[in-house]
């Protein structure tokens, strides 16, 4: 098996690859593994990165947290920016990217480490609704921390982080941060605006795919299938979306369960329905108990239904088809 195929087979949900979709969508994933170029993975480079980070409050906070947790910070060649692995207690950065990109990635990945120290992210005891809600929230929150970092660097007269961020698929987030900060001069309002902008990014469906794959794994692995823990949105935000004073920076967490935020595509809804149908039948657990009445489906015409409603529709259609078949058999049979 090629390294590429091996990688594709072993990408694991708990590794939170950053920017994986972005890189993949540009197509160089396969090429990345064939690329033999040597990148600077020296301890000097790591020190240089830390020096950039230490300039800002959020950078210092993040480095301190990593120290306390005893996590290791390493370079690892990979086609995406970096990852955090709770199992190995490692934050890995890909040396193929620029110092600015890696400083941003560092803030992002250690934010995941911090989230994971508060509550286990995307675990099999969560309902499918909570897996999606939690997955979206931790990504949006980690990305919003990047925008705080970019802004703090700009306040020091250094625009390089902001400019690097503006070149990524996440640019609308740093734009939203700056626009809100310009208006209100309120750090938390700006951070919330950045966080909410995540939900409209083209990378979001890629993350939903990962979480749905995770559900598939849970169902396949019969013993670990649980799906019982439905977490309250407000509680989740108050636990995870914290500023440097430990205050929740989200004014209205209810927004995170709105159709515009907590949604999947029609295709993803179908996969979820197929995946969970077996589980529902096997465990005799109604769809509501899995939170499927709270996960929205975004249709191509801009309207929303819920996964639960789609399941009901599919069931009615099935019944109707069966009735038509029976009627046809009845007519022609005797
Ligand atoms: Zn992430």
pLDDT score of 178 more than 90: yes
Give 142 Cα–ligand 1 centroid separation in angstroms.
Answer: 6
Give 13 Cα–ligand 1 centroid separation in angstroms.
Answer: 11
Give 327 Cα–ligand 1 centroid separation in angstroms.
Answer: 53
Measured distance CA(330)–CA(334) in Å, rounded: 7
Residues 20 and 56 in one domain: yes
Measured distance CA(67)–CA(80) in Å, rounded: 24
Measured distance CA(117)–CA(115) in Å, rounded: 5
pLDDT tens profile 258-304: 999 999 999 999 999 999 988 888 888 888 888 999 999 999 999 99
Of 201, 231, 261, at which residue does a domain stop? 261
Give 62 Cα–ligand 1 centroid separation in angstroms.
Answer: 15
Residues 277 and 199 in one domain: no
DSSP secondary structure, 111-156, as one string? HHHHHHHHS--S-TTB-HHHHHHHHHHHHHHHHHHHHHHHHHHHHT
Distance from chain centroid for Cα 314: 29
Give 296 Cα–ligand 1 centroid separation in angstroms.
Answer: 22
Give the pLDDT confidence score for residue 21 in this predicted structure: 46
Sole residue written with tokens 């301190």: 64
pLDDT score of 239 more than 90: yes
Residues 243 and 281 in one domain: no
For 297, the domain range is 262-334
Confidence of residue 29 (pLDDT cuts 50, 70, 90): low
pLDDT score of 174 more than 60: yes
Of 226, 261, 296, at which residue does a domain stop? 261
Residues 44 and 140 in one domain: yes
Give 33 Cα–ligand 1 centroid separation in angstroms.
Answer: 22
pLDDT tens profile 78-126: 888 999 888 898 999 999 999 999 999 999 999 999 999 898 888 888 9
Give 86 Cα–ligand 1 centroid separation in angstroms.
Answer: 13
Residues 170 and 61 in one domain: yes
Measured distance CA(194)–CA(184) in Å, rounded: 14
Other residues' Cβ atoms within 10 Å of the Cβ of residue 284:
7
Our count of domains for the chain comes to: 2
Residues 303 and 204 in one domain: no
Other residues' Cβ atoms within 10 Å of the Cβ of residue 273:
20
The least confident of 2-11, 115-124, 245-254 is 2-11
Give 185 Cα–ligand 1 centroid separation in angstroms.
Answer: 27
Residues 93 and 234 in one domain: yes
Residues 183 and 115 in one domain: yes
Which class for 9: exposed (0-12), middle (13-18), buried (19 or more C-beta within 10 A)? exposed
Give 156 Cα–ligand 1 centroid separation in angstroms.
Answer: 26
Whole-Å CA distances, 11 to 18, 53, 75, 148, 191: 12, 28, 18, 29, 30
Q: CB under 8 Å to 183, separation ≥6 — which residues?
A: none
Give 126 Cα–ligand 1 centroid separation in angstroms.
Answer: 19
Give the pLDDT confidence score for residue 330 in this predicted structure: 67
* 3-state secondary structure (DSSP) of residue 293: coil
Residues 166 and 287 in one domain: no
Of 243, 261, 279, at which residue does a domain stop? 261
Residues 257 and 275 in one domain: no
Q: Say if CB 192 and CB 251 are below 8 A apart.
A: yes
Give 179 Cα–ligand 1 centroid separation in angstroms.
Answer: 23
pLDDT tens profile 209-229: 999 999 998 888 866 568 889
Give 206 Cα–ligand 1 centroid separation in angstroms.
Answer: 12
Give 167 Cα–ligand 1 centroid separation in angstroms.
Answer: 17
Other residues' Cβ atoms within 10 Å of the Cβ of residue 296:
22
Whole-Å CA distances, 254 to 112, 113, 306: 22, 25, 17
Residues 52 and 191 in one domain: yes
- Alpha-carbon dihedral 94, 100, 103, 108, rounded to 10 degrees: -80
Q: Single out the residue of 221, 314, 316 nearest to residue 269, CA to CA.
A: 314
Give the pLDDT confidence score for residue 225 in this predicted structure: 66
DSSP label at residue 84: E
Distance from chain centroid for Cα 76: 21
pLDDT score of 20 more than 70: no
Give 112 Cα–ligand 1 centroid separation in angstroms.
Answer: 7
Q: Single out the residue of 120, 184, 171 nearest to residue 143, CA to CA.
A: 171
H or E segment to which residue 91 belongs:
strand 90-93
Q: Single out the residue of 89, 59, 85 nearest to residue 72, CA to CA.
A: 89
Sole residue written with tokens 């935020």: 261
- Average pLDDT, rounded, for the chain: 87
Give 324 Cα–ligand 1 centroid separation in angstroms.
Answer: 49
Phi, psi of 72 (to 5 degrees): -95, 140
Q: What pTM did the predictor assign?
A: 0.86
Residues 31 and 126 in one domain: yes
């Amino acid at each position: 098996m090629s390294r590429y195929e091996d990688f594709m087979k072993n990408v694991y949900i708990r590794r939170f690859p950053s920017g994986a979709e972005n890189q993949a969508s540009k197509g160089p994933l396969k090429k990345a593994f064939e690329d033999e170029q040597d990148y600077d993975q020296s301890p000097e480079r790591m020190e240089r990165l830390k020096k950039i980070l230490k300039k800002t409050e959020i950078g210092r906070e993040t480095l301190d947290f990593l120290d306390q947790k005893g996590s290791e910070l390493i370079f690892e060649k990979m086609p995406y920016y970096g990852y955090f692995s709770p199992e190995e207690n490692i934050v890995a950065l890909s040396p193929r990217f620029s110092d600015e990109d890696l400083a941003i990635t560092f803030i992002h990945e250690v934010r995941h480490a911090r989230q994971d120290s508060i509550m286990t992210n995307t675990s099999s005891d969560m309902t499918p609704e909570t897996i999606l809600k939690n997955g979206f929230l931790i990504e949006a929150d980690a990305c919003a921390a990047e925008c705080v970092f970019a802004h703090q660097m700009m306040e020091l007269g250094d625009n390089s982080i902001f400019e690097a961020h503006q070149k990524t698929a996440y640019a609308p987030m740093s734009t939203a941060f700056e626009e809100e900060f310009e208006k209100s001069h309120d750090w938390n309002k700006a951070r919330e605006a950045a966080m909410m902008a995540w939900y409209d990014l083209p990378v979001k469906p890629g993350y939903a795919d990962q979480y749905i794959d995770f559900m598939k794994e849970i169902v396949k692995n019969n013993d670990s299938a649980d799906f019982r823990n439905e977490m309250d949105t407000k509680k989740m935000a108050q636990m995870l979306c914290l500023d440097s004073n430990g205050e929740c920076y989200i004014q209205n967490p209810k927004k995170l369960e709105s159709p515009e935020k907590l949604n999947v595509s029609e295709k993803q809804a179908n996969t979820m329905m197929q995946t969970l149908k077996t589980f529902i039948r096997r465990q005799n657990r109604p769809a509501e108990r899995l939170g499927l009445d709270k996960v929205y489906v975004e249709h191509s015409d801009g309207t929303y239904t819920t996964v639960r409603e789609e399941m009901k529709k599919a069931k009615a259609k099935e019944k109707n088809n069966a009735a038509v078949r029976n009627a046809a058999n009845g007519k022609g049979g005797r």
